[in-house]
Amino acid sequence: MILPSVGRGGLGFEPPPPHESPEREELFGLIERHAKALPRYTSYPTVPYWDAEFGEAEYVDALDDAGDAPDQPLSVYVHLPFCGKRCYYCGCNAIAGHRAEVVDRYIERLSWEIEGVVDRIGVGRSVSQIHWGGGTPNFLTDAQTARLFGMLESAFHIEADAEVSIEMDPRVATASQPPLLKRLGFNRISMGVQDFDHRVQVAIGRIQPESDTVSLLEWSRTAGFESVNFDLVYGLPYQTSESFARTLHRVVELAPDRIATFSYAHLPQVRRIQRAVDATGLPDNRAKLGLFLDTVEVFEEAGYQWIGFDHFATPDDELSVAARERRLLRNFMGYTTHAAPDQVAFGMSGIGCLAGRFVQNDPRIKNWEESLEAGHFPIVRGHRLSLDDQVRSYVIQHLMCNLELPDDLTSEPFGAPMAELFARDLPGLAPYVEEGFLERTATGWDVTSTGRFFLRNIASVFDAYLVDSADRPTFSSTV
């Protein structure tokens, strides 16, 4: 073990080793040794293992089952794919530059989709979490935004303390948006920043003057938003330790409440748009990991708490509190404390989880629209979770969020200790215990400071779909 675990309490973890230290060298070596293409475990099983035969009939069954639990709150995701212009590094389901009437038509179809769902699960169901993602949700005009939010208000009962969040692009934001969003009931804004460095921005086809980010931040604060998140991306072309440090320190000065850092996966053969990225300046794996270690160092030094693998939040933020108390959750919308057991998704490519089934909408706008026009739900794949899937999903999620593997799963619906449920899997932990990624406690295993970089490796021990699978899909690399 190269970094000590400090276990429970406090902010939980030692900062990473400083630049060019022997400890950092040792960590690089470990990461190279354990590098594997592994899923990010946003869901278990992961999307590539879902069933393409799962269609509308199965979705209707799931909705009807969810309708049998009318008092259970829901999470709601709305996918809004429109963007001003496509960024070269984009890995999202996004569509560039559409006219207002195309967006209006999309919103109309969303209303049909919402109506179809509510017809089955019941009108006025409580909602504890709403997230608008994309694409660029603030590509909508104020009138379109108000119309869409009104549709959700008519269909659901949004709880007074619900988490209501939206992803925003500072480049298309206007001064009128944050006050409107606040009036409607949004309480969290997440904005894409990626990197303030101009050369990096040119290489990724996303020129975003710092003044755009600062303006949206100021408008949001003035409108009364107490929770603002910045998204950063590391591993982009021309990012160096020095250039990225300038971005990190500027972010600290601007003081968002949360920061999410995403690893750039350059996969031009899968994502055609990435062929436009200036790949000559891409950092190698070691440099990329160095960028992430610098990120942890700067943000922890600035007082942020490191959450999960790649998020940061102020110590009094509810994510930080939940992480310290080991009750943090994660769903398709990210880390949260408000996730409901069932999540309904609207819009092209939207992913839901209802009554023990994962379900995904068609990611092609034309197909999504045509299905709804023909009176059908636009489902392209899904998965019904077995009891085995559910217990593995719980353990993997708990590990990724709360950095522990508890012995006692008897209080969960699974009704047996881990040693019994995972008798065949637990020996797979041995190499990670030996490397010092996990340490035994009186109640289970804690992930150590070093082990934090290997969460996906540890989680994969519990992934029954990876074992002996010759046709494993390709996932992005560990860091």
From candidates 58, 113, 169, 463, binder to ligand SF4 by CB under 6 A: 169
CB 318 within 8 A of CB 337: yes
Distance between CA atoms of residues 130 and 158, nearest Å: 9
Stretch that binds ligand SF4, among 8-16, 109-117, 129-137, 354-362 (CB under 6 A): 129-137
Q: Which is nearer to ligand SF4, 46 or 136 (CB)?
A: 136
Question: For 166-217, what is the HEC assignment?
Answer: EEECCCCCCCCHHHHHHHHCCCEEEEEEECCCHHHHHHCCCCCCHHHHHHHH
Q: Which of residues 357-416 bind ligand SF4 (CB under 6 A)?
A: none
Residue 86 Cβ vs ligand SF4, minimum distance, rounded to whole Å: 4
From candidates 1, 2, 11, 92, binder to ligand SF4 by CB under 6 A: 92
Q: Which is nearer to ligand SF4, 83 or 400 (CB)?
A: 83
Residue 88 Cβ vs ligand SF4, minimum distance, rounded to whole Å: 9
Stretch that binds ligand SF4, among 22-30, 46-54, 90-98, 322-330 (CB under 6 A): 90-98
The answer to whether 90 contacts ligand SF4 (rule: CB under 6 A) is: yes
Distance between CA atoms of residues 264 and 285, nearest Å: 11
Stretch that binds ligand SF4, among 86-94, 181-189, 431-439, 445-453 (CB under 6 A): 86-94
Torsion sign over Cα 11, 261, 478, 323: positive
- Among residues 170, 43, 39, 130, the alpha carbon closest in space to that of 475 is found at 39
Number of residues that bind ligand SF4 (CB under 6 A): 11
Mark 131-150 with x for binding to ligand SF4 (rule: CB under 6 A) and - for no binding.
---xxx--------------
What 3-state class would DSSP assign to 325?
coil
The answer to whether 237 contacts ligand SF4 (rule: CB under 6 A) is: no
Residue 356 Cβ vs ligand SF4, minimum distance, rounded to whole Å: 30
Kindly state the helix (H) or strand (E) to which residue 156 belongs, with its residue range: strand 156-168
What 3-state class would DSSP assign to 453?
helix
Burial class (CB in 10 A: 0-12, 13-18, 19+), 69: middle
Q: Which of residues 178-197 bind ligand SF4 (CB under 6 A)?
A: 192
Q: Which is nearer to ligand SF4, 118 or 260 (CB)?
A: 260
Distance between CA atoms of residues 290 and 293, nearest Å: 5
Q: Which is nearer to ligand SF4, 135 or 237 (CB)?
A: 135
Residue 84 Cβ vs ligand SF4, minimum distance, rounded to whole Å: 7
From candidates 76, 78, 83, 339, binder to ligand SF4 by CB under 6 A: 83
From candidates 87, 216, 353, 438, binder to ligand SF4 by CB under 6 A: 87
Q: Which amino acid does the sequence have at 371?
A: S
Distance between CA atoms of residues 310 and 317, nearest Å: 16
Stretch that binds ligand SF4, among 87-95, 106-114, 303-311, 325-333 (CB under 6 A): 87-95
Return the C-alpha torsion angle 139, 252, 226, 400, nearest 10.
80
CB 363 within 8 A of CB 52: no
Distance between CA atoms of residues 292 and 479, nearest Å: 9
% helix, strand, coil for the chain, step of 5: 40, 20, 40
Residue 272: CB atoms within 10 Å: 9
Determine the Cα angle at 185 with ends 167 and 339, to 5°: 65
The answer to whether 233 contacts ligand SF4 (rule: CB under 6 A) is: no
H helices, E strands: number in the chain: 15, 19
Stretch that binds ligand SF4, among 61-69, 80-88, 437-445, 466-474 (CB under 6 A): 80-88
From candidates 86, 120, 266, 271, binder to ligand SF4 by CB under 6 A: 86
Q: Which is nearer to ligand SF4, 213 or 449 (CB)?
A: 213
Residue 370 Cβ vs ligand SF4, minimum distance, rounded to whole Å: 23
Residue 164: CB atoms within 10 Å: 23
Residue 287 Cβ vs ligand SF4, minimum distance, rounded to whole Å: 22
Stretch that binds ligand SF4, among 85-93, 113-121, 216-224, 301-309 (CB under 6 A): 85-93
Residue 87 Cβ vs ligand SF4, minimum distance, rounded to whole Å: 3
Residues that bind ligand SF4 (CB under 6 A): 83, 86-87, 90, 92, 94, 134-136, 169, 192
